[in-house]
Chain A
Amino acid sequence: MISTGLFPYMLGLSAFLFTVGATGVLIRRNPLVVFMCIELMLNAGNVALIAYGRFLNSVEGQIFAFMVIIVAAAEVVVGLALITQIFRLGRELDVDDISEMSE
């Protein structure tokens, strides 16, 4: 059980995770790593939701977090399938190289 005193730290942690995730998406090149960074962002949101839920003494935050976990899982399924498919088509896994269309 976290106490109210820990709340600012929880929020700080979530903000830190979010920043790391967002920065990672912007600077990393490997789609898998980018994908992990996106998960990090979503989980930062989860941490914030749970911290707030606890702090506000409301269950809505936790319910929200559960739903996010499920949705994120679905997204991972699609994402990994896509990455596998691109790999099978014989492509380098680097988002900068995936630029068939840009002119």
Chain B
Amino acid sequence: MNVPWLTLVIVIPVGMAILLQLVPRSQTALIKALMVGATATVAVIVFALLYNMAGSPAGGGPLSLHYQERHDWIPAIGASYHLGLDGLSGWLLALNAGVFLLGALAVSRRATDRLRFYATLLLLTEAATGGVLLSADLLLFYLFWEGMLIPLYFLLSNFGDENRGRNTLKFVIYTVAGSLLMLASIIWLYFNAHLGTGETSSFDLAFLINHPSASQAALVIPGVKISTFTPQQLVFIGFALAFAIKIPIVPFHTWLPGLYESSPPFVLVFFAGIVSKLGAYGFIRYGLTLFPQPIGYFKWVLAALAVLSIIYGALMALSERDIKRIVAYASISHLGFIALGIFSLTQNGVNGAIIQIINHGIIIAALFLIVGMIEARTGTRELHELSGLEKRMPWLYFLFLVATLAGLGMPGMNSFVGEFTIMLGAFQLNWIYAVLAGGGVILACWYMLRLHQGLMHDPIKPVLERVRDIRLGEALLLSPLVALMVFLGVYPRPVGDLANPSVAQYVSIATGANPNPSSSAPSAGTPQAPQ
């Protein structure tokens, strides 16, 4: 039977979200069971797809998708309902399924009196982010990309502390401004695709990669005669802004700390876990393939901004006293690494970026959960009011220790692999970038240990004497994440190997090594991730 598995990944959450409306709001146990059930089903489907992917043949074309589904959507303008999954999106989709399952599990029925509302929004967000990762048509991609904001908006503005409304609005306006410019860019690409005779343009990603617009002269500002950018470069800027805001790269990061601070952990698990990674995914999937010339032109600036993010995030994490904000700024720093890997435009860099996307999703979800647990027990997030928790919370201490070590890039932990590979790529770009990024690693040690020691060591404050350790359920929530940190640290190959063919192909398109992007054979040369 020909089951549309990819569509199911989107439809199951949406269907369950609709179904939930029929359940009375007071039936919280049933609501939670249904929410967990739907996200778990999606996770099972995704992992089954991933498991079978290595053996399945890749389709031709510049994308080499392993699974595809394609139906006409608006045939008159060449937009189609085209879903595809390859090694690149595969792991991200797995992360997606994982963090949403975690989000579904992490919300306790006592945490909110609006569980059904939360469940509906969580499922809709999962459908939208899944759609972003799966779509292989630019218009469809945009639909999910922007549509994602709707459930996120309600989610972020309804759950969290009293500042959430303002922070959410800031986030939404930021992202809407960026993504609307991307819409203009998408339309421009569509109309300027270099068509052969008898061809009509299409929003299909593979089609647009194969039919790049003819290069045009730089636009000149009338009157002052200052030559600016070529149209292609401007169009790339439209895409880059949308993605850079989502990641976020400094200086587009200002929405992040406040929003993370005001959001509850069970939202942050997937908000920080997957949504911010979609910007990085966008750069790889769309930036590298559609804009080989502009991304080569801008890579120095973009890589510099990425390094700036690393350093800035690390310094801010060092100077913060609020433990949630420390983690938020650490996140900016880590995301800077991912961005640096991408903009190095080397196979190592991009490969490392993908590995790091997965790792960071795991680590940041764990850290926010831990911070949330501490806050729930102590009632404060001030670093100087907390100390010596190791005596009262030995289990949390252990799990937190692993997460801390993973966060600072300890060899043997998962993020070491990613960061090391990214540094290799950065070296290939320019050694200065690598050195500066290395500084970021050192700072990471500092702020992670400061956080961990501040919370756990030293004599315990008297007010904290009655704090209880985490419950079994919470430990079970954290332990798979912690196990993954170790597992992916010693055996990172599954992630790297599956994504490698796509990455090799994208990098060759982006660097112009492969002048004919339509040829399907990816160039060889698989960088070995250090063990």
In the complex, are there CB atoms of A and B closer than 8 Å?
no
Residues of B that sit less than 8 Å from A by CB:
none
Residues of A that sit less than 8 Å from B by CB:
none
